A and B are shown apart, each in its own frame.
Chain A
Amino acid sequence: MSDQDQNDQREIIDKLKGLPQIQDTRNKKEVFSQISSHPDLKRRKINRKKKWMPIVSATAAALFLILLLPVFFNTDTRQISEEDSMNEAYDMPMDETSENYSYEQEQESAGQEINRESAPAEQENSQMETVNESLVVHHVSQDQNIYFAGIPDLQAQYVIPIAFINSGERDLQGFYNNMDEYLGELNSDTGEYLFENVEFEIDHSSYEVAMALPNDFSLNGSAATANMFEKILSEMFRPYGTEKVTIHTDNGEPAEFDPFGDIDEMQLQEMTPSGYKLYELGNTKMLIQIPHNDQTSIEEAIQGMKEDEAELHVFKTVPEDIQFTIEQENNQLNFRFSEDTDFTEGRDSLDMIEAVLMTAKSYGYKQVKFENTEQQHIGPYNLTEPLPVPEAVNPIYLND
C-alpha cells in the first residue's frame, strides 16, 4: 500500500471515529417493562407447563421452596412481581440457543418437510421430531432452487457438502458471490472458507464458470489446501454439469495458484466414490464425505462407516453390530441386513439409512432396496420399497 493510500485510510478511520455517540434515551425501567411483557417469554411459560407432569412439577416446586426458604428471608422485600415472571422464564429448558437459532430453525423445517407421519401422543412428539430431522433432500418444488456448496471440516481433512435451498428466482452468480455470508452460520464449527473475495461469473444457460481471484490471493502454498479448494469447487459446480472453471486475477493476469503455479483453468472432478459419516461439532451436525479411490468397493466403504474418527469430530453412521451383504441389480443397490441384525426406529437408524443412500449415490446407483428388515418405516422412509438416492445432502433452507 502506498503512503498516499495509508494516509487516505487513516483519514477515513479518523472520520469513522468521529461519528457521534448514539444513546438510547429510554430509562432502564422502561426497557425492562417492554421486555418482560414480550410474548416470547410468556409462550415459553406455557410450553413448560405442557412438558412437565403436574406431580413432578409440584414435587420440584415444593423442594425448590424448601431449599430457598432461608434465602427468601434474607431477600430484599422490595422485589416486584414482574421480576418473578422473568425469573420463571429463565428456568425454561434451553432448546433454542440464541446464536444458532435461525440455522436450527431451518434444520427443523427441513425435517418437517419429509415428515409424513404424525405422532399419536404428545409424549412421543420429541422423539418424532428428532427422528425426522433429515440430513438429505430428495426433491425440491418447482419454485425452489438448490445451490451446491461445500466447506472443509475444522481440521481440513474432508469436505462437508451443503445444499442451500431457496425459493424464487434462481440467481447462481448472486448466491456464489455471497456464499461466505450464507456459510457464516457454520463458521465456528467448520474449517476456513477458501473463496474469500473470489468473484464468480456464471453463464446461467451454459453453466460456464469464470472465477476472478484477488491479486493477493494465496492458499499458503499448501498442496492439501489446494486440493481441498479443487474438491470444493467441484462440489459446487459439477452438479450443474460444469467440467472446468476458468481462472484469472482481478488485474486480468493468470492466477499464481500456489502450489500449482500459473494456471488459467481448473478441471472439476466428478463425484468421487465416498462413504458418509457424521460430522458433529458445536451446533453443527452434518453428513461428511469420506472419499475413496476407485479400488474401494461400496461394501468396504460402508464397512468403513462403522468407525469413529473422534479427533476429527467425525462419527460412525453404521452401528458396529450391523451385518449386511451387498448386491447390484442394474442401477439398484440391494442392501440386505443379516438375519440376526435388528435396529429400531430412531435417530441413529435414520442417519444410517441416509448415509447409505448418499454412499450409493456417490457410487453411481440410482436407488437402494433395504432388505430383511423388521422395521418397515424409518422416519419418512418406507423400507418395503426401493428408495431413490437423494438429490442433495445437508440442506439449509434460506427462506423463512
Chain B
Amino acid sequence: MNSVFNKIYDEFHQDLYQFIFYMVKDKHLTEDLLQEVYIKVLNSHKNFKGDSSLKTWLFSIARHVTIDHFRAQERKRKRILEFFDWNEKGQNMKDNKPLPDEVAVQNEEVKQIYEHLDKCTPDQKSVLILRFIQSFSIRETADILKFSTSKVKTTQHRGLKMLRKYLEENKKRGGESNE
C-alpha cells in the first residue's frame, strides 16, 4: 500500500471521518466525501509545500469538500422548492436522519446538542466541531478555515449562542408540556 496513504490513514483517518460525519451526519455520505478527500490529497500531495501542518492541510481539504457538498445540496433544494413552490414551509422541513447508534444511546441533552448543531451555519458548525469535538486550538481552527483568529472567536461565540437559544426553547417547550 502506498506510503502517503498509509501515513494519512494511520494518523488522521478517524479524525477526518469524525469531522466530516459531524458536518453531514450520514455515515455513507461521510465515506463518499472522505474518499473525495483522499483522491484530492493523493493527486496533489506533491504540491503540499509545508506552509501549514499536514493536519491543517488535510482538514481544510475535508472542509472544502464538505462545503461543496452543502452548496450542491442547497442548489438541489432550491430547485425542488421552486418546482413545488413550498417556500417558507419547505425551508422549515425537518431532515429526519436516524440517530447513529453512538448518539442514540446517549442522554437527552447530548441528543439535543447533536440535533441543534444543524441549526448553526456551516461556518459556525465547522468551528464548533473543530474546537470542541476535535479539540483543535483557535490558531489551528483559523488555519483550517482560513479565518483570522478573531473571526474564529466571533463565529464560535455566535454558534454557541445559537445552540443556547435552541436549547432554551426546547426547555421552555418541555416545561409548558409538563404544566
Contact = CB atoms under 8 A, between A and B. Distances in A.
B103 A19 contact: yes
B133 A90 contact: no
Contacts of A184: 67, 145-146
Given A28-B9, A94-B46, A399-B75, A22 B18 contact: yes
Contact of A35 (B39, B103, B113, B121): B39
Contacts of A349: none
Contact of B9 (A16, A31, A168, A187): A31
A98 B61 contact: yes
A18 B110 contact: yes
A86 B100 contact: no
B113 A15 contact: yes
A329 interface: no
B42 A22 contact: no
Given A12-B167, A86-B2, A97 B47 contact: yes
Given A98-B64, A187-B146, A24 B31 contact: yes
Nearest to B13: A24
A36 to B, nearest CB: 9
Interface in B13-29: 13-14, 17-18, 21-22
A22 B44 contact: no
Interface range, A side: 35 or more
A20 B113 CA distance: 11
A192 interface: yes
Given A24-B31, A399-B75, A44 B43 contact: yes
Contact of A22 (B17, B72, B82, B148): B17
B136 interface: no
Contacts of A196: 151, 154
B14 A23 contact: yes
Contacts of A18: 106, 110, 113
Contacts of B132: 13, 16-17
A396 to B, nearest CB: 13
Contacts of B57: 99
Interface in B40-81: 40-47, 57, 60-61, 64, 67-68, 72, 75, 78-79
A89 B17 contact: no
Interface string B153-164: 010011010011
B106 A20 contact: yes
A9 B68 CA distance: 30
B31 to A, nearest CB: 7
Contacts of B79: 168
A379 to B, nearest CB: 28
Contacts of B114: 19
Contacts of B13: 24, 28, 31
B179 interface: no
A250 B128 CA distance: 24
Contacts of A19: 22, 103, 106, 110, 113-114, 133
Contacts of A97: 44, 47
A29 B22 CA distance: 24
5 contacts: A15-B109, A32-B9, A40-B39, A86-B5, A101-B40
Sorted from nearest, which 10 A-B pairs have the closest CB atoms? A98-B40, A187-B146, A16-B132, A20-B102, A24-B17, A86-B2, A15-B113, A98-B44, A188-B146, A22-B21
Interface of A: 8-9, 12-13, 15-24, 26, 28-29, 31-32, 34-35, 38, 40-41, 44, 80, 83, 86-87, 89-90, 92, 94, 96-99, 101-102, 168-169, 180-181, 184, 187-188, 192-193, 196-197, 399-400
